[in-house]
Amino acid sequence: MTEVMREKLVIIGSGPAGWTAAIYAARANLEPLVFEGAGSRTMIPGGQLMFTTDVENYPGFPEGITGQEMMMAFRKQAERFGTRIITEDIVKVDLSSYPRVLTSSGGKTVEADTVIIATGANAKWLDVPGEEELARTGGGVSACAVCDGALPFFREKRLAVVGGGDSAMEEALYLTNFASEVLLIHRRDAFRASQIMAERALEHPKITVVWNTVVESVSSREQDGLKEITGLRVKNTVTGEEETLEVGGLFVAIGHKPNTDFLEGQIDLKDTGYIRLPDGGRMATNVQGVFAAGDCVDDYYRQAVTAAGTGCMAALEAERWLAHGGIEAEAGAAVS
Ligand code: NAP
């Protein structure tokens, strides 16, 4: 028979939200257990920051820090206060029973008084040759202009943004601060973005829209042992014509997907898959004793520092919920 682990607090996810929640919870003697994820091609323990090169906008690091170093430091800090870590995914949850029951990819069953979900979101990628390697190695492909656009690598270059939604408009406009020119590549002949954002992009002198066009591959050259982007092979969806566009950077802005599939039917999710918080100012979900933080709830800010902030909030809420009697107090309140 498999052993059932019994825990006060389980944290699912290991980005800035998960580790910050762990640091606060561990220092409050909740002895948190973190499931940091098993790792796959697009998702690894540490989350999206593991795919980022330099983080220059997280306060406290005047010289910047790499995303990987930052996440290793978060993890170490959580461990210092007694956080226990399991390198597996949580693949199934039963939030209808109490304690909450979680099942891991390694077959572990965990019963938890409280749970913090901090599973993050994944940027959607184009899935074309060249893209993944250059994104992973800092070779000029990114899914976050705010994170990477100001890096010296992209300065005074012709950059490309792919997408036709608000994110693509925002990224293109942001990049005009650094780029010599921004090509905004969209697969159709009309934007999905809000009118005001679309107008701003269309009217900007540095932005050129490339309509009805899809990217087929990303080309690169090797420089000092590292590959860096040189251009995009693109195809016109109307004429079928192909050409190569020379660019010094590619920003993919075709949306995000929160990592919440395993919560389907167990917790209140928005149509987009993000976790709905009944009281927008708090991190409590519609399930008592279950909290959520970071990009799995945030479809708006999506920054490391905001994720860390909500991780802290979720841990404080979990601590207070337990201190005020947890599920028994909730049951009493429901009866009285
Ligand atoms: P989105 O609205 O879903 O737009 C995604 C865009 O990417 C669409 O134009 C889509 O093309 C294109 N696309 C999707 N898959 C593609 C593929 N495989 N190849 C090429 N193009 C592809 O996503 P979003 O822009 O990230 O916005 C998400 C939500 O956040 C929206 O509600 C948005 O309004 C909001 N948001 C608001 C702001 C703001 O107000 N400042 C900023 C950012 C985001 P099609 O149009 O052809 O489907």
Which of 72, 71, 106, 58 shows the shortest CA–CA distance to 86? 106
Structure confidence at residue 224 (pLDDT): 85
Q: What is the pLDDT of residues 227-259, one digit of tens each?
A: 999 999 999 999 999 999 999 999 999 998 999
CATH of residue 182's domain is 3.50.50.60
- The span from the CA of 239 to the CA of 252, in Å, is 23
Single residue among 252, 281, 296 that ends a domain in this structure: 252
The model's confidence at residue 123, banded by pLDDT at 50, 70 and 90, is confident
For residues 27 and 67, membership in a common domain is answered with yes
Q: What is the pLDDT of residues 251-308, one digit of tens each?
A: 999 998 999 999 999 999 999 999 999 998 899 999 999 999 999 999 889 899 999 9
Q: Is 299 a catalytic residue?
A: no
pTM of the model: 0.78
Tell me if 163 CB under 6 Å of ligand 1. Answer: yes
Single residue among 229, 252, 275 that ends a domain in this structure: 252
For residues 196 and 105, membership in a common domain is answered with no
Q: Which residues contact 50 (CB under 8 A, 6 or more apart)?
A: 44, 67, 68, 71
Q: Is 296 a catalytic residue?
A: no
For residues 279 and 326, membership in a common domain is answered with yes
Identify the burial level of 160 via C-beta atoms within 10 angstroms of its C-beta, where 0-12 means exposed, 13-18 middle and 19 or more buried.
buried
For residues 71 and 185, membership in a common domain is answered with no
User: Residue 55: helix, strand or coil by DSSP?
Assistant: strand
For residues 46 and 114, membership in a common domain is answered with yes
* The ligand 1 atom nearest the CA atom of 166: 25
User: Residue 56: helix, strand or coil by DSSP?
Assistant: coil
Q: Residues 110, 18, 316, CA angle at the centre, nearest 5°?
A: 90
Q: How far is the CA of 127 from the centre of ligand 1 (A)?
A: 16
Q: Is 148 a catalytic residue?
A: yes
Tally of domains in the chain: 2
- The span from the CA of 234 to the CA of 212, in Å, is 10
Of 54, 89, 113, 148, which one is the catalytic site residue?
Answer: 148
- The span from the CA of 12 to the CA of 87, in Å, is 11
For residues 140 and 55, membership in a common domain is answered with no
Shortest-distance Cα residue to atom 2 of ligand 1: 165
Q: What is the mean pLDDT of the chain?
A: 93
Read off the tokens for 142: 């990114």
Q: How far is the CA of 80 from the centre of ligand 1 (A)?
A: 40
For residues 20 and 67, membership in a common domain is answered with yes
Between 146 and 219, name the one with better pLDDT: 219
Going along 41-157, which residue ranges are E strands?
Answer: 54-55, 65-66, 84-86, 90-94, 100-104, 109-117, 121-123, 141-142
Q: What is the pLDDT of residues 146-156, one digit of tens each?
A: 888 999 999 99
Q: How far is the CA of 251 from the centre of ligand 1 (A)?
A: 13
Which of 173, 183, 164 shows the shortest CA–CA distance to 204? 173
Which residue range is the domain that position 322 belongs to? 4-122+256-335
DSSP letter string, 196-249: HHHHHHHH-TTEEEE-SEEEEEEEEEEETTEEEEEEEEEEETTT--EEEEE-SE
Q: Is the pLDDT of residue 180 over 80?
A: yes
Tell me if 165 CB under 6 Å of ligand 1. Answer: yes
Structure confidence at residue 336 (pLDDT): 44
Q: Name the CA dihedral angle for 218, 221, 227, 231, rounded to a multiple of 10 degrees.
A: -30
Between 134 and 50, name the one with better pLDDT: 134
- The span from the CA of 9 to the CA of 26, in Å, is 10
User: Residue 182: helix, strand or coil by DSSP?
Assistant: strand
Shortest-distance Cα residue to atom 46 of ligand 1: 192
